[in-house]
Structure formats: C-alpha cells, structure tokens
Amino acid sequence: MVEGLHRVVVTGLGAITPIGNSVKDYLAGLTSGRNGVATTSLFDASGHACRFAAEVKNFDPTGILEPKESKRWDRFSKFGVVAAKEALKDAGLSIDENNAASIGVIIGSGVGGLLTMETQAHVLADKGPGRVSPFTVPMMIPNMATGLAAIALGAKGPSSAVATACAAGSNAIGDAFRILQLGKANVMVCGGAEASITPLGVAGFASAKALSFRNDDPASASRPFDAERDGFVIGEGSGVLVLETLEHAQARGATIHAEIIGYGTTCDAHHITSPTPGGIGGAEAIRQALQDGKLIPENVDYINAHGTSTPANDSNETAAIKSVLGNRANQIPVSSTKSMTGHLLGGSGGIEAVACILALKHDFVPPTINYSNPDPVCDLDYVPNTARQNKLGVVLSNSFGFGGHNVCLAFRQMI
C-alpha cells in the first residue's frame, strides 16, 4: 500500500451462489459445509461425459429486476445485477445525480452470455439469419453485466469489464481498488458473474479433460487438494462488493465490513491452460499482494485458495503458497470453497472475496469438503470437511485463470 494513496474499505456484499442466493444464505452454506453440486438440470446432459454441475437453485429475480427488461438479458447478467443490487443495499448507499459520476462498476466474466450465443447459433442454423434476435449481441458480450448493473444502479463513474478467465472477478476487484486508491472515484461496485453451465460450455471443458467425471457420485466430485481429485465441477453465479475510499465511507457513516489492502496480478506467459510448474506466476502474485499491503507471512491468518480440484492447479498452488510464505505456510489454514460451490470461472473471484470478508467478520474458516485422501504433494492445512472458528486479522484470496492470469487479493479487519 503506497503512501499517499487512499485507503479502501468494503461496505457492501452481494452473492448469488450454488449454496445460497443471498449473502445471508451463502454464509449459512459456508459455515455448514453445504454441497452445491448435483445432477445437471439446466439442460439434458444425458449424452455428455460430465452430467453434473453446481447450479444456482431456485433463482427468481421477480421483484428485483424488471420482467420485460430481464427477458432481454443473459443469465450471467441477471446474476450480476441482482448481486450488485444486494451489495448496494447492504452498503446503505443511494445513487442520484449528485454522486452518480463518482460511482463506478467493474464486473468480470470469463465467458459472458454463452447460453445466448448457443441458442442464437441454433436459430441461425435452423431458421436463417432473419430470425436471429436483435438482442443477441447485447446479451452475449461479456461487458454487459457491468453495463446493465450501471444502468440499474444509475452509476456513471469508471466502468469496464475484465475477461481474464477464472481470474476475472478478482481482477475486477483489484482494478476497482486501484481506481479508488488513486482518487478517481469514491465508490466502486465490483466482482464477477458467470453462467456457463450450457451444452457447449460443459462439452468444451469435458473435451479438454478439465472436468471431473464422477457421474456416479456428483456430490463428492469437487474435492480440492484430495489425492483422488480428477477435475473441477463447473458452477455459476455472482459475487459483488461495494468498495469505497475510507474517507467517503466514514463521511456518510457507513458500516465497514473489512479493508482491502493488497492486490497482486501477474501472467505465467507459459501455456494456454496449464500453470507454470511450481506455481511461479501465482507465487509472484501472492508476493505482490503481501508487498502492496505491507504484510509479512506472519500476518496472514487464512488463505482462500483457487483450489479447483484439478491435479495441476492444486499441487502448483500448494507449491506457490509454500514458496512465498515459507515455514509459516504450514501454520495457515488454506481452504477451497470451490469444494462447495464448484468453479464459477469468472464469477469465482467475486464469491470467494465475499467468503473472505464473511470469514473476517465472523471469525471462521470455511472448510474444504470432500477431503479424505491426503496427497503428499498437497501437504498444507486444508481445513478438512468442517468449518473452524478462528480469530482472523488478514486473509488472502487466490484466483488463477486460463491464459496464465494470476491474482491475489489481501483483506484485513478494519483497524
């Protein structure tokens, strides 16, 4: 954290997840070890190699979104806007003509409106170009969760979208943090949103051998750091934060959930999907976040791991954590909430940042469920199967994406 920059705090949280459609329900899911993985219901997956996912259940935006407008939105945008509205309400913030220009939005997405793209491709093939919806492009482009959230909230400040695959949500939060540090806005609404549980999305990841194929036992499929892990479980949803400069939050008497103090972002420049052996790029992102926040290893009390449940990610992330934190690494609880929520791709950084802040607020460490078989190359404290009460001061959140994108965010209790 460079001297002279604004301090930045978290004042609002919003979440739509496979284990809860509000922050309150998500917290209950995290503390109880709720499992969000089940047989796919969003489409007929009977012919697919992977027939399960971590879906958002019973999602009904009635009363939150305008029905006529939301029919013209892809599912990922609906998730993002609903989470953004919850976060703004939690922050107790009203946007009007007096402050709109100082409030911005950044919501990342790895894929954007994949369902719209698939659906309209079928329309084109079956019925011809004249039948393709005029809303096709606005529905599918990945910046539209940001655009629609800005419209819905009335936010006219800095606005952008990040598409760094599975690091997108965390990059969005980190970029918003930088904007506020520099005084280019007073408030930023930021996070990630994704809805890629579609025939093409599942088939593509399955063909790449990235998914688990435990069709006989979907509930145990997402098992980060376990020796028998065989791939990730695709999930969907959105996590959104309201960040403010400390001065702005204090001036309006806002409730402050936590402070964001560090942001590291790097690229492996190695491979389109595989991390650098030894997790070198991820390690550098962690190192940068610690340096940015003026932290030493002894300050870190919990790490929310990227923890995808793939063989390569989990072993390399373990190596990255150990290389940066040294002997302290074995004393820090490290858990993967993807064991419960599945992998939300570009939305994962958003809901995992929310999980970190809830952990700070309530002094607990979420578990890594489905952990039963230790792996010699994954030898840290992964908080197996049951949440743990723990006094927390500083937490880190890791996100690593296809293309070699690495992000680490650092949050702490407000001091």
Residue pointed to by tokens 């040294």: 326
How buried is residue 129: exposed, middle or buried, by Cβ count under 10 Å (0-12/13-18/19+)? exposed
Please name which of 175, 187, 159, 331 lies closest in space to residue 247, comparing C-alpha atoms: 187
Compute the half-sphere exposure of residue 230: CA atoms within 13 Å on the CB side of its CA.
11
> Residue 72 belongs to what H/E stretch?
none
Q: Which of 6, 248, 257, 343 is catalytic?
A: 343
Q: Which of 6, 248, 257, 306 is catalytic?
A: 306
b/e per residue, 232-257, with b = 16+ CB within 10 A? bbbbbbbbbbbbbbbebbeebebeeb
Q: What CA–CA distance (Å, rounded) separates 28 from 102?
A: 34
Q: What CA–CA distance (Å, rounded) separates 337 from 315?
A: 17
Question: In whole angstroms, how far apart are CA 24 and each of 16, 86, 358, 360, 405?
Answer: 10, 11, 10, 15, 31
Residue 378 known to be catalytic = no
Q: Which of 166, 190, 356, 378 is catalytic?
A: 166
Q: What CA–CA distance (Å, rounded) separates 301 from 226?
A: 22
Would strands 258-267 and 8-16 be described as parallel, antiparallel, or unpaired?
antiparallel
* Cβ proximity of 182 and 113 under 8 Å: no
* Cβ proximity of 80 and 107 under 8 Å: yes
Residue 122 known to be catalytic = no
Directed axis angle between helix 348-362 and helix 168-181, to 10°? 70
* Cβ proximity of 87 and 14 under 8 Å: yes
Just list the catalytic residues: 166, 306, 343
